[in-house]
Structure 1
Amino acid sequence: MPLTSFAGASTPLPSSPPSRLSSSATSTFKEASPALLNLERVYEQNRQRTQKRNGTTAAAKHSESVLHSPPAPPAPPKGKPRLLLMGQRASGKSSISSVVFHKLPPNETLFLESTSRLQKDDMASFMDFQVWDFPGQIDYFEDSSINMDAIFGEMGALIWVIDSQDDYLEAVTRLNNTILNVLRNYPSIKIEVFIHKVDGLSDDFKMEIHRDIIIRVQDELSDQGFENAPVNFHLTSIYDHSIFEAFSKVIQKLIPRLGQLEAMLTSLCRTCRFEKAYLFDVLSKIYIATDSTPAEMASYEVCSDFIDGIIDIIEVYGSWERPSAYHQRLEAEQHQPLADQIACPWAESCIVLADGSKPILLREVDKSLALVAVMQEGSYDKIPLINMNVDVVVKGLTEFFKITKHKK
């Protein structure tokens, strides 16, 4: 139920007692009757008692509001949310940023130069945010000349990247120092640890490293008085979809009212009997929301690759600028404007996988978002009914991002 603001009715103050006799009246009447003197004394006592009571109540209310009221909420952060990529040198920070946000093929990251200075990238997508790539050789907490508020003052997430194929003891030590400084001064920032480059490790060795790093971090934080610190760990690699899965979970923590998005997708899955539904950021292939069922890497990979195929087709056929004579000829043949000949202004596609016979539906929400759902086998015949339900959800998603979009 939406909150409703009610204006409280103001309680009128008690009316003041009748004024005492004026000086001219007292000078005229030298002697007053006992009844009049008694009435006057009663009025004076009531006036003093009322003033004293009002003053005491106001002071008590002020004292109570100062002592017992909860602290005022902090002012909302200004600017764009930030993703801060930190870690040791050559841990893979620049490769992660290039693959996820700039669509660089993973094999070409071998030719990237080491980051020597802070790099800031603005991402104009469903949510405007920034990605800051920090050089690994600088310890920002030991340099007193660096303004920490300018780095950690905005809402966002700190992503610490650890190279799992290298000696990570020094990286864990710097990570613990960073976490302690952040938790003490900027407790609202999200802290995520990417245990990176796990593609060349066996499953057993991968889990052993993952467990060892978690124990080292949690033990150090516990010794410093931070029990159950809000630190999350992810196994990542740029050569599979694990890096996109990890970034999806990070981005979701920065989205306001994420539960409403998940509720809409869950309702759509129940109504249309979808196995899984994702709301993708088309630019980065990060899913910003999904339904309440547990996410599966296999379904995510298929849906992500499907988006790549649609984008490739759009780049070939959709971006080709047709000459005006071509538009005029189409309008002359159909005797109506070209806009009226288009069935829908948004992109829509549906394919059926050959191996599992499960249709996959894609529907464009806007230029940055796409709804991708894995349907059940045999549900392709119900596409018209499914499209009606998808239309309702897409309209709801559009209104959601209009309301929650950051006001500049």
Structure 2
Amino acid sequence: MNYDYPHINDSEITDTLEDSAGSDKPRILLMGLQRSGKSSIQRVVFGKMPPNDTLYLESTTKIQKEDITRSFIDFQIWDFPGQVNFFDMAYDSQEIFGAVGALIFVIDAQDDYSEALHRLFFTVTSAYRVNQNISFEVLIHKVDGLSDDYKIDTQRDVQQRMGDMLADAQMEHIHLSYYLTSIYDHSIYEAFSKIIQKLIRELPTLENLLNVLCQNSGIDKAYLFDTLTKIYIATDSSPVDMQSYELCSDMIDVIIDIECIYGAQVSSPNGRLSISDEEDEYGNGGDENHHGMNGNGRSLQDQYDQEDDVNDDNESQQQPSLRRTDGVGQNESEASSLIKLDNGDVLYMREVNRLLVLICLLRHDNFEKHGLIDYNFQCFKEAVTEVFEFSQKRNNQQQQQQQMVHLSQQQSTNE
């Protein structure tokens, strides 16, 4: 299937690919037609741009590559211009798609998506021939202006038509996942959370640890959030309720906003940039909530943006690595926050490390045993630290093996 792609400056595309070829970070590709919302998604989720500001973004004319290095998860996200055929002979498809973990195709649900479906079929089948390990994800985007019934009908129609096209090509074994998304609500964050989780090898272990924590602490729901992106990298096995997820996600913004307003009064004992735990007993003085603050009065966002990266983990080829920070597992003063909801439930947040937080939803009666919950959290934190240390060693070994193979190939070529 051929497409009439408009003329574009191929030299800019080639230069971008050459600059990126040397990176061994796993890649997540954003693809789709022009004006489908790819750049807006990247800027909102990973650049913290307000959704309304994306209305002024210009069309992408070359690959926009961004290293997600200030996050707990470590990978590259590539935003592809919609008018370029990267399966053309002018480009090295193996170079582009060989190290891809996930390919995300964005469809504008408010437009006629017939052409988008044909492009999706061409992209998926071509990329699958290059790399069969790619996870194919479809974002049915801009659904904020659609009714609930129309959203469901649109998703059903897209899935049915794509299924028929793949079946006709005898490629029905290719699996696609579909998500209804919008940058104006939490749906885009939940979709990226599920996409990222597929690429994390430690996910089953993290889920088991969260299950044990919830069972032994009376917690109804628990999420491990990457603080800067608000993507949850793991949750317990109970079903994800959008309302509880939105509450936990908004809690991160609330804490950062309060820090920006009020600053802090005390610093951590060892001088680390961390939010110190307020010593007020739960419910004293009729306060609805209390929050720990940053020891030096800076917000979490400033803290993460200004500090140097620490302990950069080595990456496997197609899976994002998980970062950990110095001092994890020691007795540093972690961030802590507590919010009491109107219905009597409690939102409780504890900092695992500088880039990762645990947010729990539980009933008021269960939180009266907060001493037991805090003890169980420390056990959970130590276990998570061991998982990441093991993951780091494994990634180091894999990278060394890859380097040895690469060196041997170079020597063979020189000979």
The reply on whether 1:348 has 2:348 as its aligned counterpart is: no
Amino acid at match of 1:127: I
The reply on whether 1:189 has 2:155 as its aligned counterpart is: no
Structure 2 unaligned segments of length 5 or more: list them: 1-22, 268-294, 296-330, 400-415
| Residue 381 of structure 1: how far off its partner (Å) | 1.6
Q: In structure 1, which of residues 376, 400, 403 is the aligned counterpart of residue 363 of structure 2?
A: 376
SS of the residue 1:365 aligns to: strand
Using the alignment, how far apart are the partners of 1:318 and 1:397 within structure 2? 30
Amino acid at match of 2:364: E
- TM-score, normalised to structure 1, is 0.73
Question: Is the CA contact 1:269–1:276 (under 8 Å) kept in the aligned structure 2?
Answer: yes
Q: In structure 2, which of residues 78, 83, 101 is the aligned counterpart of residue 132 of structure 1?
A: 78
Amino acid at match of 1:118: I
Q: In structure 2, which of residues 12, 18, 31 is the aligned counterpart of residue 86 of structure 1?
A: 31
- More contact order relative to length (CA 8 Å, sep ≥ 6): 2
Question: Is the CA contact 2:227–2:356 (under 8 Å) kept in the aligned structure 1?
Answer: yes
Structure 1 unaligned segments of length 5 or more: list them: 1-77, 323-337
| Residue 273 of structure 1: how far off its partner (Å) | 1.3
Moved more, 295-304 or 125-134: 125-134
Using the alignment, how far apart are the partners of 1:299 and 1:203 within structure 2? 20
| Residue 320 of structure 1: how far off its partner (Å) | 10
Amino acid at match of 1:96: I
Amino acid at match of 1:365: V
CA shift in 2, pair 1:321/1:152, >3 Å: farther
SS of the residue 1:191 aligns to: strand
CA shift in 2, pair 1:115/1:360, >3 Å: same
Question: Is the CA contact 2:28–2:76 (under 8 Å) kept in the aligned structure 1?
Answer: yes
Determine what percentage of the aligned residue pairs are the same residue: 50
Using the alignment, how far apart are the partners of 1:203 and 1:376 within structure 2? 31
Which residue number corresponds to residue 109 of structure 1? 54
| Residue 368 of structure 1: how far off its partner (Å) | 1.1
Using the alignment, how far apart are the partners of 1:344 and 1:321 within structure 2? 14
- The 5-angstrom pairing of residues 29-108 of structure 1 reads 79-108=24-53
Q: In structure 1, which of residues 352, 355, 359 is the aligned counterpart of residue 346 of structure 2?
A: 359
Q: In structure 1, which of residues 217, 220, 223 is the aligned counterpart of residue 162 of structure 2?
A: 217
Using the alignment, how far apart are the partners of 2:176 and 2:265 within structure 1? 47
| Residue 145 of structure 1: how far off its partner (Å) | 1.1
| Residue 191 of structure 1: how far off its partner (Å) | 0.3
Which residue number corresponds to residue 273 of structure 1? 218
Which residue number corresponds to residue 410 of structure 2? none
Q: Runs ≥4 in structure 1, deviation > 6 angstroms?
A: 319-322
| Residue 224 of structure 1: how far off its partner (Å) | 1.3
Using the alignment, how far apart are the partners of 2:200 and 2:365 within structure 1? 35
- TM-score, normalised to structure 2, is 0.72
Question: Is the CA contact 1:358–1:376 (under 8 Å) kept in the aligned structure 2?
Answer: yes
- Per-residue CA deviations over 1:329-357 (Å, capped at 9, x if unaligned) read xxxxxxxxx9xxxx952101111112x21
| Residue 276 of structure 1: how far off its partner (Å) | 0.3
Amino acid at match of 2:340: V
CA RMSD in angstroms, aligned pairs only: 2.0
- Per-residue CA deviations over 1:283-305 (Å, capped at 9, x if unaligned) read 10000100000101000000000
Which residue number corresponds to residue 394 of structure 1? 381
Q: In structure 1, which of residues 263, 287, 299 is the aligned counterpart of residue 232 of structure 2?
A: 287
- Per-residue CA deviations over 1:192-223 (Å, capped at 9, x if unaligned) read 00000001011111111111111111111111
Which residue number corresponds to residue 239 of structure 1? 184
Using the alignment, how far apart are the partners of 1:129 and 1:321 within structure 2? 35
- Per-residue CA deviations over 1:136-183 (Å, capped at 9, x if unaligned) read 111212x21111122111141000000000110000001001111122
The reply on whether 1:164 has 2:152 as its aligned counterpart is: no
CA shift in 2, pair 1:277/1:134, >3 Å: same
Question: Is the CA contact 1:81–1:254 (under 8 Å) kept in the aligned structure 2?
Answer: no
Which residue number corresponds to residue 319 of structure 2? none
Using the alignment, how far apart are the partners of 2:190 and 2:265 within structure 1? 33
| Residue 313 of structure 1: how far off its partner (Å) | 3.1
Question: Is the CA contact 2:213–2:377 (under 8 Å) kept in the aligned structure 1?
Answer: yes
Using the alignment, how far apart are the partners of 1:226 and 1:208 within structure 2? 24
Amino acid at match of 1:350: L
Using the alignment, how far apart are the partners of 2:27 and 2:260 within structure 1? 30
Aligned length: 311
Using the alignment, how far apart are the partners of 1:224 and 1:246 within structure 2? 28
| Residue 107 of structure 1: how far off its partner (Å) | 1.0
Amino acid at match of 2:336: E
Question: Is the CA contact 2:221–2:362 (under 8 Å) kept in the aligned structure 1?
Answer: yes
